Chain A
């Protein structure tokens, strides 16, 4: 019964595989641009955009649009709340995984 409660307490916004990949990448740097996220996560442009805007709406990610020379550039970074939420998620997931292994 406890396991079910624990699973339910996981942050669903982060638990979704594509968003977990985005959060994992952004947790390991100050900021990354759209091209890097596209290459590392293997998502399509549309998919990545849609997941990023969901994370942006939740206040986990901040998206900045600018120009690098002549080219437009979209940089993404975790907000302090996003970083905290990802740390909590990692701890919960790890604890849960250990219990299932037992």
Chain B
């Protein structure tokens, strides 16, 4: 006989189904790393200098093509490519017997989203006030843009983890959010900070994704061998 508690557990189990095998984490790892590299390429002077030199020698179209590739083509290709790869892997191996689920489009409670956006805005406004008071330089404000994004991401992950009942997202949100505060004090440019943010979060997502995937594959293997 199903009780309300069972129904609630079924709801949670279904919500976290798509995230329990770790493939979504690997997808996020790819997307975040790519975004980090793109931000670095877009904002770092080394790239800008190379681009200007190429535009002088080959023509202005090189600049437009490069911007189009970096800002639109590469992110779209990476995001859709990884998603397709994951869907294929799931249909072929992971979900063949346990069944397919299409997740709800938004699994983060609304108040968490509002809270995350508020944190971002407050942090940025606060750093601007410090800047205008002459207490911090422009680089601090630019770094704060990345750190505030990390704090919002952390809060969103905690809310998401609580909603679907997956503890690894709660831990990642807390540790990643707090740890990213370090970026404020590193002697890096804006582009470099974005790169470090993308790569460090991407690496962490990749590690927890691989651990979750390993666990899923082990349990699949055990089911197939009748253990």
Closest residue on chain A to residue B9 by CB atoms: A24
In the complex, A8 has a CB within 8 A of chain B:
no
How long is the Cα–Cα vector from A95 to B182 in the complex, in angstroms?
47
> Which residues A43-96 have CB closer than 8 A to chain B?
68-69, 73, 75, 93-94
Q: Which of chain B's residues have a CB closer than 8 A to the CB of A41?
A: 10
User: Separation in Å of the A100 CB from the closest CB of chain B?
Assistant: 12
> Which residues B2-38 have CB closer than 8 A to chain A?
2, 4, 6-8, 10-15, 17
How long is the Cα–Cα vector from A21 to B9 in the complex, in angstroms?
10
Bin chain A's interface residue count. Answer: 20 to 34
Among the listed B8, B15, B99, B103, which residue makes an inter-chain contact with A37, where contact means beta carbons less than 8 Å apart? B99
How long is the Cα–Cα vector from A34 to B17 in the complex, in angstroms?
15
Is A36 a contact partner of B11 (Cβ separation < 8 A)? no
Closest residue on chain B to residue A94 by CB atoms: B4
Q: Which of chain A's residues have a CB closer than 8 A to the CB of B103?
A: 29-30
Per the CB 8 Å criterion, the residue count for chain B at the interface is 24
CB contact under 8 A between A25 and B2, given known A30-B105, A32-B102: no
In the complex, B72 has a CB within 8 A of chain A:
no
Is A40 a contact partner of B7 (Cβ separation < 8 A)? no
Q: Which of chain B's residues have a CB closer than 8 A to the CB of A35?
A: 97-100
Among the listed A33, A69, A93, which residue makes an inter-chain contact with B99, where contact means beta carbons less than 8 Å apart? A33
How long is the Cα–Cα vector from A62 to B102 in the complex, in angstroms?
14
CB contact under 8 A between A32 and B98, given known A17-B2, A27-B11, A40-B13: no
Closest residue on chain B to residue A77 by CB atoms: B102
Is B99 a contact partner of A28 (Cβ separation < 8 A)? no
CB contact under 8 A between A21 and B99, given known A29-B104, A97-B4: no
Among the listed A17, A30, A36, A69, which residue makes an inter-chain contact with B1, where contact means beta carbons less than 8 Å apart? A17
> Which residues A1-24 have CB closer than 8 A to chain B?
17-18, 20-21, 24
How long is the Cα–Cα vector from A18 to B1 in the complex, in angstroms?
8
17 A-B residue pairs with Cβ-Cβ distance under 8 Å, sorted by A, are: A21-B2, A21-B6, A21-B7, A21-B10, A24-B11, A24-B14, A28-B12, A29-B15, A32-B99, A32-B101, A36-B98, A36-B100, A36-B101, A40-B14, A41-B10, A68-B100, A93-B4
Mark B residues whose CB is within 8 Å of A.
Answer: 1-2, 4, 6-8, 10-15, 17, 91, 95, 97-105
Counting from the closest, the 5 A-B pairs by CB-CB distance are A36-B99, A35-B99, A28-B14, A24-B7, A17-B2
Mark A residues whose CB is within 8 Å of B.
Answer: 17-18, 20-21, 24-25, 27-41, 68-69, 73, 75, 93-94, 97
